[in-house]
Each structure stands twice: as C-alpha cells, then as structure tokens.
Amino acid sequence: MDSLHGAAVSAEGFGLKGPRGWVFRGVGLTAPPGSLVAVEGPSGSGRTCLLLALTGRMRPTEGHAEVGGARLPGRAAAVRAFSALGPVPGVSELDPAFTVAEHLRERALLRRRFDGSPRSLLRPGAARAASRAAIDTALDTVGLDLAALPKAERTSVRDLERLEALRLSLALALMGRPRLLAVDDTDLKLSGPERAEAWRLLRGLADDGTTVLAVCGEAPEGALTVRTEDRRERTDATGTTDAPDTSDAEDAPATPDAPDTSTAEAAPDATDTPATTGTTGTTATEDTPGAPATTTTGSTTNGKETADALTRTGRA
C-alpha cells in the first residue's frame, strides 16, 4: 500500500500526572520515520496513556515530544491530523454488533464527510468509487480476506477471531493513509503463532514507511522498545518510590477525547537517525548493532489510576 512518509517521533522528559500520581514520567526516545516502536510494560503501567499522548490525544504534564515535526503539547491537533488509532480499548474499539461491512462503510462515509473536498459532494459516484478503492487497498494491506470470513462481509465483529479483529481495526485506520499508526494491546489474547503474525503485519507496515507505535506485554525482536514499569517495581534516583499526589483528586473529570481519524500531509521530518536518548527518570541502554534499542520509564499508577488520568486530562 502506498504510504505517506512516516513521522519521526522523539521525546524528552515526557510525563503525565493524574489525580493519583504519575501515570508515566521521564520518557525519552528517538525513532526515525518508518520505525516499529514497541511500548512494553505490564497492564496499568501507563502504556496506553503514553500511546495517546504521543498521538496528540492526551496532554502531557511535563517535558515535550516532537512527532512528524509538530511539537507536543502545543501542536496536538496537527499530530492528530496525520496519525490514526488502531484498536484502543475505550477509545477506538470495534462495535461487536456491527458487521465488517458496516464498519468499513461507516469509516468511508466519515472520511468522505470530513476529509473529502467540497467538489466530491457534487460527484457522489466518483466519491463512492474512491471509497471502494480505499477499502480494497486497506484490506489487501492487512491481509483480511472477506470471502474467508464465516459470513463474508456480513460477519459480525463478535464472530471474528482476535487476529481477524486486529486486521479489521488496522484496515479502518489505514484508510486515512496515516503517517503514524498507534495500536494498543497488540499481543493480548493471541497464541504464539498469532502473535508472530501480528508483529509481521506491523513490521510490514513500518517497512512500507508508516511509523508504528504498538503497546505490548513483550516486545518483539528488532523493535525499538520503550519500557514502562509499575510503581512497585521501580524506585527513583533517591532510592524511594514516587509518592502519589492526590491533592487534586476531587476535581471534576473531563470528558476524554474521541479519536481523530483525519489525515494531512506535514513537512518532511528532520530526524532520520535511529537512536535512543536518556532523560531524567529514564534509563537508556545502547545495544549491540542490529539489536533493538531500549528506553525505560517509570509509572506510579495501577490500572484504575491510568483510567482516572485518561478521564481527567481531556482534550490536548
């Protein structure tokens, strides 16, 4: 599938604090365009919030990041314009009651409504043909054969296998030809062979030029890896664990962002040298040539605290 040039991603001292403490803190990384970045860590360690912050869906508390030449948090809208979300629970989940065809048709209509030119509204036939072509290309890219499904395109999402649902979510995201693609829980509930196939798929997308951020429990070999850790597993530089801050726990929560699936071309990225950088609260390791680079960041939240942070931060 033809892809726009991927987005370079860098971060320095990147952190987000919620009502109960730091969700993640001290993240530092540098990833060139077309990278496969694995965000590895246990559930509740801030993985999903880091994913959403790097795609402009959550506003960080400290530090900064630059994605595709757009600096965060200041230009979050620009990052949302050229990034897309695959499956992210509670944010961009598939509706189990919808059929595959209904999901594809809905996404095509949304793209025609919000991303198409005004002239396309005067030529509905041409717009439908373009949408059909975009659907076919996306399905082919992720390897989802509708004819092989139990009821072809009329198969309900609830009847899809886990890997088939992942392919469908990725196809919906790729219809916008994003420069940056974010995927949550990549290896959740997958068997060994299915997990290997999922990573082959994401690696293929990265090789085609799209930068991929993927949350996982265990990073694959060859990926640039950012590790998040639970508070109980981490101590700060002084040898003590971070104390949760509950001073603003009574504040009224904000409504979380709905995912923005629009895309737009951005200026070519200046960063093209793969590396990792260490920042305060971050331990970086330089691996041998050909091995994946890694960075480590700490978190002070459990699963509930991560959810609290997601509802609190609101639109970036």
- The pTM assigned to this predicted structure is 0.71
pLDDT tens sequence across 196-205 = 999 999 999 9
3-state per-residue secondary structure call for 7-60: CCEEEEEEEEEECCEEEEEEEEEEECCCCEEEEECCCCCCHHHHHHHHCCCCCC
SS3 180: strand
Q: What is the dihedral of CA 175, 177, 182, 188, to 10 degrees?
A: 40
- Percent of the chain exceeding pLDDT 90 equals 55
Interval 210-223 mean pLDDT = 94
CA–CA separation, 84 vs 111, rounded Å? Answer: 12
Interval 28-45 mean pLDDT = 93
Return the pLDDT at 117. Answer: 55
Pairing mode, strands 83-85 and 180-183: parallel
- The tokens for 167 are 């392919």
Amino acid at the residue 85? L
Contact, 107 vs 100, CB < 8 A?
A: no
Return the pLDDT at 260. Answer: 45
pLDDT tens sequence across 272-283 = 333 333 333 333
